[in-house]
Amino acid sequence: MTTISAATECPRCGTPTVSQLDATAWCPSCEWNLEAYDAGRSRPVFGWGWVDRRAHRLAYRMTREHFDRLVKRPIGATGAGAARALTIAASVLLLSGVAALAVTGAWLAVRSFPSLTLLPGLALLGVAYVLRPRFGRLDPELEVLSRQRAPELFALVDEVATALGAPAPQVIGVDGELNAYAGQIGLRQRRVLCLGLPYWGSLGPQERVALLGHELGHFVNGDPRRMVLTQPAFRTLGDAADLLRPMDTGHLVRPGVKPVLGMLFSGSLLERLGAALGRVLLGTLSRLFAAGHLVLVCLALRESQRAEYLADEMSAKVAGSDGTARLLDSTLRLESMALAVRRESLAGHGPDRWRAAVAESLAAAADRLPQLRQLSVREEASLFASHPPTGLRRQMLASRDWHDPLVVLTEARAERIDAELAREYERVRRQISLR
């Protein structure tokens, strides 16, 4: 619901304040109070109210300042900025540290074998193994398509990649999520494109081209999340913090890494001493590593947000600015999209009705979209957000040159692509109906 109250005027410019989705009111004209921390609608980050409130204000200010810097100049993929340079330097340093652990551990393990240095050597080798670089793997839920199985879809992806000057993905697959992503996996860094069918099937033809343009743009836009050299900055210190964390002191920074060193002090003979050492020594080191992890991730994600703005710009060049603008507005309505897809799936309908229902929902919300874009700036601002707020992405797109599409997807061709994926659509529709 939209609330506009003439009785509550902006103290800065006198415009009546507004509210969407029961959020704290703000001024739609000068955006007074848009930066407010809305505790009722915000997901806790650190778990302490006063810390979350200050973190939100810092994130909002940093996000705005980042936008203001980028909107005044071209968003280029070349030229390493300070954030990217520091992220790469930190990654190289962390990689060197892990390598040093491995070399030292191997030397201790084989030195005068067998000797008393064998145990600490094996321990260091184990730590180096846990902190080793990861290259990613194919999601087991991804249903990989072949060119013979979906020739029209592959041809469209190739056409968009050529228009962007980007390499085509080597693996194209689909799943049942309301999402899409592109990335690189394995030692050979194979390029993967995943299209969530509820998302893909709910978009109009040019929005689909815009989605492909955005995702394929990540192969050439310098996003640090997709660079092998920067991966240690995103995970090594977090893994180290979890490795050192005592067993009974809070949540893991990176789920899946067991607090192995903390377990060393939990034996029955040294239980009291182990607990004390765990809380004082290991706990302190774990928190220091966790703090360093958060700083590095926050720093690296500023560069990731720049890459997202650039991916939107590349999307507009290939799909047309109108198509990318509609795609971004659809992003504001993901919850409504999910409800529409579920409702139509329960009724036995596929992507043709998904798209019609989502289009109807978006049209009904047309008058609310400007305020939803503003609200997204408040609610999507975070120190650890890889994407800028959708409203700022829309503003950035509007500030650039307007583009006509280089690739046009006709309704007939979109229908042929959907026909190729009919079996996958039906499987996903049944999954949605059972949720």
Query: What is residue 199's DSSP assignment?
Result: H
| pLDDT number for residue 114 | 76
Which has the minimum average pLDDT: 139-148, 235-244, 252-261, 280-289?
A: 252-261
Q: Which 3 state secondary structure label does DSSP give 139? A: coil
Domain ranges, residue 7? 1-33
**pLDDT, position 277:** 57
Q: Is residue 233 part of a domain?
A: yes
Nearest C-alpha neighbor of 194 from the set 175, 219, 208, 217? 175
pLDDT score, position 157:
97
Instruction: Please check whether residues 27 and 90 belong to one and the same domain.
Output: no
What percent of the chain stands above pLDDT 70? 88
Per the model's pLDDT, the better-predicted residue between 261 and 75 turns out to be: 75
Domain-terminating residue out of 278, 300, 322: 300
Count the neighbouring beta carbons within 10 Å of the beta carbon of residue 372: 18
- 234 and 293 part of one domain: yes
Share of the chain above pLDDT 90, in %: 51
Which of these, 337, 395, 345, lies nearest to 203 by C-alpha position? 337
* Rounded Cα distance, 62 and 60, in Å: 6
> For 69, which DSSP code?
H
Kind plus residue range of the DSSP H or E element containing 172: strand 171-175
Lowest mean pLDDT among 61-70, 110-119, 396-405: 110-119
What confidence tens digit (pLDDT) does each residue in 258-291 have?
Answer: 555 444 444 455 556 656 655 667 777 777 877 7
Q: Is position 163 within any domain?
A: no
| Residue 406 counted as domain residue | no
Contacts 24+ apart (CB under 8 A), 363-368: 365/333, 365/336, 367/2, 368/2, 368/20
Alpha-carbon span 258 to 363, nearest angstrom: 49
Quickly tell me which residue has 């670089």 as its tokens. 133
Q: Is the pLDDT of residue 309 over 90?
A: yes
CB 170 within 8 A of CB 188: no
Residue 211 CA to residue 200 CA, distance in Å, equals 8
- The answer on pLDDT for 158 being more than 50 is yes
Q: Which residues contact 346 (CB under 8 A, 6 or more apart)?
A: 432, 433
Structure token pair of residue 407: 């690739």
3-state secondary structure 248-268: CCCCCCCCCCCCHHHHCCCCC
Any domain includes 103? yes
Number of domains comprising the chain = 2
User: Is 252 a residue whose pLDDT tops 60?
Assistant: no
77 contact partners, CB below 8 Å, separation of at least 6: 220, 221, 222, 307, 310
- Using CA atoms, how far apart are residues 341 and 351, in angstroms rounded to an integer? 8
Amino acid found at 119? L
Same domain flag for 116 and 242 = yes
Q: Give residue for tokens 């289009």.
A: 359
> How far apart (Å, rounded) are the C-alpha atoms in residues 331 and 118?
55
Residues 333-350, mean pLDDT to the nearest whole number: 93
Position 185 scores a pLDDT of 87
How many other C-beta atoms lie within 10 A of the C-beta of residue 353? 18
Residue 280, pLDDT score:
67
**pLDDT number for residue 419:** 96
Residues 29-56 have a mean pLDDT of 86
The whole-angstrom separation of Cα 42 and Cα 40 is 6
Same domain, 234 and 291: yes
**Count of Cβ atoms closer than 10 Å to residue 69 Cβ:** 11
**Within a domain: 401:** no
Contact 87/299 with Cβ under 8 angstroms?
yes
Residue at which a domain ends, from 300, 322, 340: 300
Residue 11 domain flag: yes
Mean pLDDT over each residue of the chain, to the nearest integer:
85
Q: Is residue 264 part of a domain?
A: yes
What average pLDDT does the segment 78-86 reach? Answer: 64
pLDDT at residue 161, rounded to an integer: 96
Q: Is residue 199 domain-resident? A: no
Residue 1 has a pLDDT of 42
Q: Which of 381, 372, 399 is nearest to 28 (CA)?
A: 372
Please give the C-alpha separations between residue 102 and each of 108, 110, 328, in angstroms, as whole numbers: 10, 12, 46
Task: Note whether 233 and 128 are same-domain residues.
Answer: yes
Q: Which of 254, 272, 300 is the last residue of a domain?
A: 300
pLDDT value at position 404?
Answer: 95
Q: Among 227-231, 266-270, 311-315, 349-353, which stretch is predicted with the lowest mean pLDDT?
A: 266-270
Using omega within 30 degrees of 0 as the cis cutoff, is the peptide bond preceding 114 cis?
Answer: yes
155-159, 252-256, 341-345, 381-385: range with lowest mean pLDDT: 252-256
pLDDT tens track for 413-429: 999 999 999 999 999 99
* CA 421 – CA 103 distance, rounded (Å): 50
Q: What pLDDT does 5 receive?
A: 44
Convert the pLDDT of each residue in 351-365 to its tens digit.
Answer: 999 999 999 999 999
- Same domain, residue pair 245 and 128: yes
Q: pLDDT tens for residues 188-203? A: 889 999 999 999 999 9
Q: How large is the average pLDDT for residues 322-327? A: 96
At 364, which helix (H) or strand (E)? helix 351-364
What number is the average pLDDT over the span 253-259? 52
Question: ∠ at Cα 109 (106, 111), nearest 5°?
Answer: 100
Report d(CA 98, CA 102) in Å as an integer: 6
